[in-house]
Chain A
Amino acid sequence: MRDKPRLAEFLAGCRDESPLLLGVAPFGMIYGIAALAAGVPAWLAQLASAIVFAGAAQLVIVQMLAAGAGFVPIALTSGLLNLRHVLYSASMAEYVRHLPRRWRLLLAYVLTDEAYAVAVLRYQRRETATADLRHWYFLGAGFTLWAGWQLSTAAGLLFGATIPPEWELDFAVPLTFIALLTLLLRERAGQAAALVAGLGALAFAALPYKLGLVAAILLGLAAGAWTVRRLERAR
């Protein structure tokens, strides 16, 4: 009896997260296909979806592997790209701070862009039960996204093994970056960061192990910070 409201919260989280799977599944498939094209063994590509569990970073890793990048540049680039999860962590902190540590350790694993987006809406609504069970909702949303990511990765790996390389489906990875980049370029500082990083990637192309990418991204960040400061001064 005691577990009924918990299960109800968990299932509500699953239900509210599921529409987002439509948007996530194509990226899981693109990742699976691109990982095979980059020469990653299927078992390792699937395992990566469980241990990294961050779509953009996984796409970056396979794109850089395909380009022959080395260990350090890939680790730095994906490590830097994933830093934004600290923002989600900070935003969820006020809602989960009171929970026992084992709950926070578990919820940290499922704290992704898409689970955060759904869970934060539930936390902003008033709770209905007398006891606060909204962490079960968060877990349900996170679990649903996790399962969807694993399944779409598997689908991409199965599909990718059967299609010929002439279809060039790995081109979907840079196309994904172009699409996400366009969505992100709303403010001046972000535009400056992107422009400088893009030009930097060409200027430092000759650096070994694709270290030029890391240098370009850092230069882009500096350009973004400089633009922010300049805009603030101008005000």
Chain B
Amino acid sequence: MTTNTLLLLLVLVGALTYLYRYAMIGLFASRSLPGWLHALCRHIAPASFAALTASGLFVAGGEVVFALDTPRPWAALVAVLVAWRTRNVLATIGAGMAALYLFKLLF
């Protein structure tokens, strides 16, 4: 992607995000949020993060690759366990990076 295209993309996403933020306090200030939109919003974040995580770990060049002989999937597994046990974002990132460096030495 060229720099100009990326700038256009960022302006587009920024404008859209601003519209979302202004929507209910400006554009539709006298209306309440429809129930379906409320329900939809709750599932967007889990669906997005799950798709991006799965794709980031196991998709390379348009193909599904379970590269279990490389450190990243195992470091991610450590991160999942730490996230599940501690429910702490920074501890998860720290443990995942530490596991990555450790597994890089071992593999």
Task: Note all chain A residues with C-beta closer than 8 A to B12.
Answer: 75
A200-229 vs B, CB cutoff 8 Å, 1 = contact: the mask equals 111001111010110011001100110010
SS class of chain A's interface: helix, strand, loop or mixed? helix
Does B87 lie within 8 Å of A183, measured CB to CB?
Answer: yes
Task: Note all chain A residues with C-beta closer than 8 A to B53.
Answer: 174, 177-178, 181, 198
Does A85 lie within 8 Å of B13, measured CB to CB?
Answer: no
Residue among B11, B43, B64, B96 with the most chain A CB within 10 A?
A: B43
CA A74 – CA B14 in complex, angstroms? 13
Given the interface contacts A97-B25, A176-B93, does A205 sit within 8 Å of B59 by beta carbon?
yes
CA A107 – CA B18 in complex, angstroms? 10
Does A179 lie within 8 Å of B92, measured CB to CB?
Answer: yes
Q: Is A93 interfacial (CB 8 A cutoff)?
A: yes
Residue among B7, B38, B51, B54 with the most chain A CB within 10 A?
A: B51
Query: Distance (Å) between the CB of A113 and the closest chain B CB?
Result: 11
Query: Distance (Å) between the CB of A6 and the closest chain B CB?
Result: 20
Does A213 lie within 8 Å of B52, measured CB to CB?
Answer: yes
CA A108 – CA B65 in complex, angstroms? 43
Does B29 lie within 8 Å of A194, measured CB to CB?
Answer: no
When the two chains form the complex, which single residue of B17, B25, B41, B90 contacts A87, counting CB atoms closer than 8 Å? B41
Q: Is B106 interfacial (CB 8 A cutoff)?
A: no
Given the interface contacts A183-B89, A194-B49, does A83 sit within 8 Å of B41 by beta carbon?
yes
When the two chains form the complex, which single residue of B10, B45, B58 contacts A48, counting CB atoms closer than 8 Å? B10
Residue among B26, B46, B56, B63 with the most chain A CB within 10 A?
A: B46
Does A200 lie within 8 Å of B51, measured CB to CB?
Answer: yes
Q: Is A158 interfacial (CB 8 A cutoff)?
A: no
Number of A-B contacts (CB under 8 A): 262
Q: Is A147 interfacial (CB 8 A cutoff)?
A: no
Task: Note all chain A residues with C-beta closer than 8 A to B52.
Answer: 60, 63-64, 77, 174, 177, 201, 213
The interface of chain A, by Cβ under 8 A from chain B, is 23, 26, 30, 40-41, 44, 47-48, 51-54, 56-57, 60-61, 63-65, 67, 70-71, 74-75, 77-90, 92-93, 96-97, 101, 104-105, 107-109, 111, 168-169, 171-185, 189-191, 193-202, 205-208, 210, 212-213, 216-217, 220-221, 224-225, 228
The interface of chain B, by Cβ under 8 A from chain A, is 1, 3, 5-14, 16-18, 20-26, 29-30, 32-33, 37-59, 62-64, 72, 75-76, 79-80, 83-84, 87-90, 92-93, 96-97, 100
